[in-house]
Amino acid sequence: MTKQQANWSPYDNNGGTCVAIAGADYCVIAADTRMSSGYNILTRDYSKIIQLADKSVMASSGFQADVRALQKVLASRHLVITWDLISYYYNKQMSCPAMAQLLSNTLYYKRFFPYYAFNVLGGLDNEGKGCVFTYDAVGSYERVGYSSQGSGSTLITPFLDNQLKSPSPLLLPAKDAVTPLSEAEAIDLVKTCFASATERDIYTGDKLEIVVLNASGIRQEYMELRKD
Amino acid sequence: MFRNQYDTDVTTWSPAGRLFQVEYAMEAVKQGSAAIGLRSKSHVVLACVNKSNSELSSHQKKIFKVDDHIGVAISGLTADGRVLSRYMRNECINYFYSYESQLPVGRLVVQLADKAQVCTQRSWKRPYGVGLLVGGLDESGAHLYYNCPSGNYFEYQAFAIGSRSQAAKTYLERKFETFMESSRENLIKDALFALRETLQGEKLTSSTCTIAVVGVGEAFHMLDQETVQALINEFEIAGEEAPADEAAAPDQADDSESSATAADKVTPSDPDVAPMDM
């Protein structure tokens, strides 16, 4: 009697790639807008990026239904915490490092039926410096200078390693992970990454959505990608 | 109101058909420092007097933001008010999670009223000792509601609760017909005038009061001290253009001016009519 296998999976992978790069006083978060299932394209115009708070932006690839559910849960939990803890003592919004911990806890909460979401969280820390946090599906996270998640990450990460040469987080004394690149250079780098990933990864393409967070606020940019 | 044999718990009726514990809870609201609300077609203004226990302490928070489109001013037991604010905030968050749209004010006040009613019908509970002026905006316009400990709620054009609120109510009764079409600035001015009535001679400065506004295109927020002081200076320098007979405070029988705990003796009520029926 061979072991029974499930003939139905609660998960699906909608593909797509996310990237985030932290700078001295900015953070760039980018993701493509293609949503697919198997060899089919479901839509060419779906945003994987959401602003969670004043200075925190999250991009998630994976199973978009879980991503959407995660976004909603985070939005609610963020509000509850802001009301109960923050508004009584301070007059400000949740910081990015705090949001990073919240995201980790929210993911681990479903350790035994995970959100099939591969996240990068980008934003500005309490000192105004760019920060990027990268996650696995169950909430393990780390602050880094740059990160890539999703179907194109295997193509993009080695390229970013080559260009940004981020020091290892294990180094002592701790070295600054943020890139010395300017904001414009970082955006250009991101566009290059996606243009290349689109060439070889079938799940990445259509359009690139770029979100830039800096001291003057938040802005959005788009770039066309190959549609094949 | 006097002590009698039917007021020991909230689940006991009096022979006259009154629940004294609930009425006593409404008394607690009258003891709190004044809170005022007014609304126009597009804005709601909440104002309150800052009361502090002593010169050394900070004043109690009486206005709470519940969501971007709803805020509440309380009078009475502040702790009860804080707890109810947390409940309201939670309800707004959950509604938004389920429906991706803002909780209409009318629904929130009904939920609040039902919650208050529960406490009037359980022997192991006591009524909330706080009155809430809920001001908010939704698809059907700007609204101001008053929720009392009895579980009743009413919609108002303008209202005042707490100690010496009668003076403010008199002012508001004179001017309320203009509020619907009022501009945001005039609405705030009227709130300040009404608030001044409750201070009975004490100086109105930005440190003795808190003002909050919510309106079309304007999320609920409290005005900062400089803005409030500027507004106060504006109309005080302009020669007190407050309606002439501001000294008139009809049925007012105030014990002492400075005591914040002075009971607001309302128009002599018919002892046979339960206050919550008015």
DSSP, residue by residue, A147-212 = EEEETTHHHHHHHHHHHH-PPPTT-SSPPP-SB---HHHHHHHHHHHHHHHHHH-TTS-SEEEEEE
pLDDT of residue A90: 65
Nearest partner of B252 among B177, B198, B188, B201, judged by Cα: B198
Type of residue at B44: V
Residues B65, A79: C-beta atoms closer than 8 Å: no
Residue B260 has pLDDT above 90, yes or no: no
Q: In angstroms, what separates the C-alpha of A76 from chain B's closest C-alpha?
A: 6
Per residue in A130-142, pLDDT (tens digit) is 999 999 999 999 9
Residues A80, B93: C-beta atoms closer than 8 Å: yes
Residues A75, B97: C-beta atoms closer than 8 Å: yes
pLDDT of residue B38: 97
Give percent of chain B above pLDDT 70. 84
Residue B278 has pLDDT above 90, yes or no: no
Nearest partner of B213 among B144, B148, B130, B165, judged by Cα: B144
Residue B269 has pLDDT above 70, yes or no: no
Residue B263 has pLDDT above 90, yes or no: no
Stretch A14-28: mean pLDDT: 96
Tell whether B89 is within 8 A of chain A (Cβ).
yes
Q: How many C-beta neighbours within 10 Å does residue B40 have?
A: 23
Stretch A75-90: mean pLDDT: 80
Residues B93, A87: C-beta atoms closer than 8 Å: no
Could you tell me which chain B residue has the CA closest to the CA of A78? B93
Mapped onto helix, strand or coil, the DSSP state of residue A131 is strand
Query: Is the separation of the CB atoms in B75 and B33 below 8 Å?
Result: yes
Residue B248 has pLDDT above 60, yes or no: no
Residue of B272 and A29 predicted with greater confidence:
A29
Could you tell me which chain B residue has the CA closest to the CA of A74? B97
Residue B49 has pLDDT above 50, yes or no: yes
d(CA B207, CA B229) in angstroms, rounded, equals 8
Residue B265 has pLDDT above 60, yes or no: no
Query: Is the separation of the CB atoms in A148 and A157 below 8 Å?
Result: yes
Residues 6+ apart with CB under 8 A from A103: A58, A74, A119, A121, A133, A135, A139, A141
Could you tell me which chain B residue has the CA closest to the CA of A77? B93
Query: Is the separation of the CB atoms in B160 and B34 below 8 Å?
Result: yes
- Evaluate the omega torsion of the peptide bond into residue B104 and state whether it is cis, within 30 degrees of 0: no
What's this model's pTM, rounded to 2 decimal places? 0.85
Residues 6+ apart with CB under 8 A from A96: A53, A55, A56, A121, A122, A123, A124, A125, A131, A133
Residue B277 has pLDDT above 90, yes or no: no
pLDDT of residue A1: 85
Stretch A53-69: mean pLDDT: 96
pLDDT of residue A111: 98
Stretch A188-204: mean pLDDT: 97
Interface test mutation site (partner B, options A54, A83, A88, A92, max chain B beta carbons within 10 A): A83
SS3 letters across chain B: CCCCCCCCCCCCCCCCCCCHHHHHHHHHHHHCCCEEEEECCCEEEEEEECCCCCCCCCCCCCEEEEECCEEEEEEECHHHHHHHHHHHHHHHHHHHHHHCCCCCHHHHHHHHHHHHHHCCCCCCCCCCCEEEEEEEEECCEEEEEEECCCCCEEECCEEEECCCHHHHHHHHHHHHHHCCCCCHHHHHHHHHHHHHHHHCCCCCCCCCEEEEEEECCEEEEECCHHHHHHHHHHHHHCCCCCCCCCCCCCCCCCCCCCCCCCCCCCCCCCCCCCHHHC
Per residue in A205-218, pLDDT (tens digit) is 999 999 999 999 99
Residue B251 has pLDDT above 50, yes or no: no
Residue B252 has pLDDT above 50, yes or no: no
Which residues of chain A approach chain B closer than 8 Å at the C-beta?
Answer: 72-73, 75-76, 79-80, 83-84, 87
Q: What are phi and psi of A102, to 5 degrees?
A: -60, -45
pLDDT of residue A155: 97
Give percent of chain A above pLDDT 70. 96
d(CA B134, CA B141) in angstroms, rounded, equals 14
pLDDT of residue B246: 42
d(CA A103, CA A22) in angstroms, rounded, equals 18
pLDDT of residue B1: 61
Question: Is ipTM > 0.95 here?
Answer: no
Residues B97, A84: C-beta atoms closer than 8 Å: no
Residues B86, A72: C-beta atoms closer than 8 Å: no
pLDDT of residue B276: 53
pLDDT of residue B16: 94
Which among A41-50, A78-87, A175-184 has the top mean pLDDT? Answer: A41-50
DSSP A23: B
Q: What are phi and psi of B188, to 5 degrees?
A: -65, -40
Residues of B in contact with A73 (CB under 8 A): 97
**Average pLDDT of chain A to the nearest whole number:** 93
Q: In what order do the strands lie in the sheet with B158-161?
A: B158-161, B35-39, B43-49, B209-215, B218-222
Residues B97, A87: C-beta atoms closer than 8 Å: no
**Average pLDDT of chain B to the nearest whole number:** 86
Q: What are phi and psi of B226, to 5 degrees?
A: -65, -45
* A40-43 and A35-37 beta bridge pairing: antiparallel
Residue B268 has pLDDT above 90, yes or no: no
